[in-house]
Chains A and B, each alone.
Chain A
Amino acid sequence: MIDQTIEDTIIAVSTPPGYGGIGIVRLSGRDSLKIAKSLFRPKKRISRVPPGRAVLGNLVNLESNEVFDEAYLLYFPAPHSYTREDVVEISCHGSPVVMEEAVRLGIKAGARHARAGEFTLRAYLKGRIDIIQAEAVDDLIRAGTVETARRVFGQLDGKLSKKIGEFRAGVIDILAQIEAAIEFPDDRLFVTPERIINSLEKMIVLMDDLMASYDVGKALIEGVTLAIAGKTNVGKSTLFNAILEDERAIVTPYPGTTRDYLKEKIKIKDVYFNLVDMAGLGKAGSSVEREGIKRGKRIASLAEGLLILLDASRPAGSEDLALLEEFRSKNVLILFNKIDLGRKMDITKIKERFGQLPSLEISALRGTNLGRLKKKIYEIFSPKIENRENVIFHMRQKLLLEDVLKHLKKGRDLLIKGHTEEICAEEIRKTLLFLSQLTGEIRADDVIESIFGRFCVGK
């Protein structure tokens, strides 16, 4: 992962792939400016490139003397740059052709193409950012929405680091109590196992709370998964397509399509939703159908929200009721579909029976109430983030916090079972190790490899 080539000057397109308004090509390393000058010609003659100030010029292929784009050049001399090395950013038009040409010329002039995550790796190694911040940078690139960006910026400021720091301090405090009791047995410190169990309990509650925020974080980054459930022929696919149709402009194809279900990403206001259309969950005839239903139910139970679709033009069947009964404890929106065909279903009775579940009458085919549906989806399923100061975004962060929790709980349980304090202390000490891994203070190279391995090139 890291070797002598870390001294090279690297270059890469640092905006996401595809067409965009503006594209940025970034260089980092000691020859950044020299290499940039070989493909960039300022419009006005300047004696030297001023640090941190945009210089207008042209991108030029010196061999053919061809100008291929107009661009701005920004120069950040070390250590006042993202990587703490000399960095040059060239902002040009976001055409892949233009940017690729710039990178090609840069490589010809002596740069090396950056590997995945290499800019951030350099920033990390130079002490510019801690691991949580490094992960936040990755999210910033991916974040499509305002709310996400705000969260991520919060994390860049070290907000989560601060929270983790607080936990760390709390755990240290508990450990200090235990250690004091061990080191000074003659002083009457009144640190009883009961008191330690109590403090541990409080810490565990706080930690559980932070863990719960993982779901919010996941939703912000990956989107909320909504499954459309219902027996066959209630209009699931029609609804799926109707919502997609309406959102076509901002829908991106999601690479999760399988034989069993269709998955598409839509955006309502500032939140992404992954809409899943799957096989009907009614009575199964063949064994193939049974298998499909089994899988469908698993998807339904894993989804963060369910749209349960009923055919209002027919009386409610036992399958409809069974489905509602099975998932009533989940986050559900009942949709009475096909109202254009008349209401044969006793909607009032169902509403009474499942009173706590919100519902809406629609016609997927005619597009009736689709606007209200989206509004409801947003209201019901978008992550509730008002009171969340800190959101755990990453699986790695979650796993480490799980380790912390595991050892805190084990420490508590050991004391409850009557084991002595120094054994409990072993568990608590472990949590410190994990907490500091969260803020990158204890660096194990496998941690770093896993982080930087998943980074896109050139951030």
Chain B
Amino acid sequence: MFLLMLILNLVRKRKLRENYSLLWIFISLVLILIVLLYPWLVKFSNLFLANPTSMIMFCGMVALLLLILQLCLMNSVQATQIKNLVQKITLLEEKVKNVSKKK
């Protein structure tokens, strides 16, 4: 619940963009559901011969791995965008200098 409120507050203050907050909100909702539906969690854990605590840890780890993967994907896209911007600025700077010289 605390995690959900923290995320919503960050989005409200525009410190976290909506599109990046979706996965976090989804994870906090799943955590709330797990607490509310604890008997279901016990049954689900028994299917894998695990205890509920280990199951929560395992699911948490998978969720965090997914989050890291999402961040890496975003980082890859942004690295390409930054590279293109740097090159564009560099070439534009040269053009601007040439135009200024001609004037």
Say whether A and B bind each other: no
